[in-house]
Structure 1
Amino acid sequence: MYLTSALLFLLQSGLSTAAPRISSALRIRDTFTPPTVVSASFSGSGCPQGTTDVSTVSVWDHFSFDLPSFKAKTGPSSDITDRTVNCQAHLNFGGSATGWQFALKDHWSTGHFETDGAGVTLTQYLTVYFSQDAANTATTVQTIPSTDNSNVSKDLSLHTSIPEAALIWSPCVGGGILNVNFRIAFSGATSNVTAYYGASSNSSVKEQWEWTWRRC
């Protein structure tokens, strides 16, 4: 198995409006059987217990979920603890098909972003690891600096693709618990500029994942 250790990838900020694609590996159902998802749970300030639910039936073709409690904000009246928020998903997998490994390859996130001044930076962190090998971790970082435009109010869609060399592969035999931590943080001129990332009036923050497979 190809391992990485405490690997940090700094990715340039970018917006993506493209819809998630089904990985070509997922089209070869006649050659493998995906592992069973025994359970899915969530933890973190952005998804307190009981606020997020997902059907494990659709994990392999279209795994997406809403985070209605996920919101970060900064400004003169906000507390420092409001400036960062996270949600960690824990997926407990049964044994994979003999001779195959899977990994999380692509991550999409969508939320509503507002600022009323320049100098604030929004940063998204995505960390992936299996519980039985927590030291083998991949982390991606995307930054969205505010511009000279003093008033921004828009839905922000981000696409992160984990580099091939940093993919965190499942065990070749047996199951495992995959942990995916999605975190948003504000930094910069947080004392005099108001900024917000979270749900809008008609939608929640959303995550969507896409997988890749390989022989082992």
Structure 2
Amino acid sequence: MYFSTSTLLLAALAPAAIIASPVDADLTPEGVPKITSISFSGNGCADPGSAKTSATVLDGTLSTSFSTFKGDSSSNCQIHLQASGAGAGWQVALKEATYHADVTLKPSTSLSFFTTSFWSQDASVTATLKSRIDCAGSDIKDSVTVKQSTATPVWSQCTGDAGYPGILNVNFRPAVTGNEGAYNVKSASIKFEWRKC
């Protein structure tokens, strides 16, 4: 659904199943989980410095700005993230994602946003958040905000004494299908959730 305002707010298309064990959204580890390494890969952020974040801790939301994450078909930018210091006995997962983008769509065109997260220690287990903008009427040319969330996040390994959850990989990927369209992703943010294990 499209609204003629300057900002679109879209939820995920298909909410996932209910989590088996309830999680306290306000739960945070005793230690400060400091980011020790962060890098980017993918054709949407291939140029050095084209993706930037100022985040230093892994305890809430991490925002990334982009300068070359644009196209008229599909591209991706993947974040590779490590942290330590959370203390022992914790797990962390990506819970929400938000995109800010300039979008142009012709009638009979859709723009989908896919956010896939996984931990390198068990790369076959993934969670993908999905949202879509459909242009069914007149042309869309607007700045949009797309929000996604999941009820079934992929949890890290249980932290040991060093508070190291593993290597988190988050892949952002917009994709245009149909007649004609383009996107220019200005920034994306991811929100984390912690639980005891």
Range class of TM-score, shorter chain: 0.7 to 0.9
Which residue number corresponds to residue 62 of structure 2? 63
Quick one: which amino acid aligns to residue 86 of structure 1?
N
Give TM-score scaled by structure 1 length.
0.73
Give secondary structure in 1 for the equivalent of 2:43.
coil
Q: Look up the match of 1:127.
A: 116
What is the 5 A alignment of 1:1-216? Answer: 11-12=12-13, 24-26=26-28, 32-50=30-48, 51-73=50-72, 83-94=73-84, 96-115=86-105, 117-149=106-138, 151-163=139-151, 166-174=152-160, 175=164, 176-189=166-179, 193=180, 195-198=181-184, 205-216=186-197
| CA–CA separation in structure 1 for the residues paired with 2:30 and 2:137 | 52
Task: Tell me if the contact between 1:52 and 1:66 (Cα under 8 Å) persists in the aligned partners.
Answer: yes
In the aligned structure 2, how far is the partner of 1:167 from the partner of 1:101? 11
Separation in 2, partners of 1:58, 1:213: 13
| Identical columns (%) | 31
Contact 1:102 1:214 survives alignment (8 Å): yes
8 A contact 2:33–2:58 mirrored in 1: no
Q: Deviations over 1:127-149 (max 9, x none)?
A: 00000100111112212111211
User: How far apart, in 2, do the equivalents of 1:44 and 1:139 lie?
Assistant: 17
Q: In structure 2, the residue corresponding to 1:196 is in which secondary structure? A: strand
Q: Partner amino acid for 1:162? A: T
Give 1:34 shift: 3.3
SS for the counterpart of 2:46 is coil
Contact 2:31 2:85 (C-alpha < 8 Å) held by counterparts: no
Work out the CA distance in 2 between the residues paired with 1:135 and 1:95: 26
Alignment partners' CA distance in 2, 1:162 and 1:177? 20
Which AA in structure 1 matches 2:27? Answer: A
CA distance in 1, matches of 2:33, 2:79: 17
Between the two proteins, the alignment pairs up a number of residues equal to: 172
Report the residue type matching 1:71 in the other structure.
K
> What is the CA distance between 1:118 and its match in structure 2?
0.8
Unaligned runs of 5+ in 2: 1-11, 15-24
Q: Which has the higher strand share?
A: 2
Identify the structure with the greater helix proportion: 1
SS for the counterpart of 2:27 is: helix
C-alpha deviations, 1:120-173, integer Å up to 9, x for none?
A: 111111100000100111112212111211x2211111111111xx21112113
Say whether the 8 Å CA contact 1:42–1:49 is kept in structure 2.
Answer: no
Extract unaligned runs of 5+ from structure 1: 1-10, 14-22, 74-82, 200-204
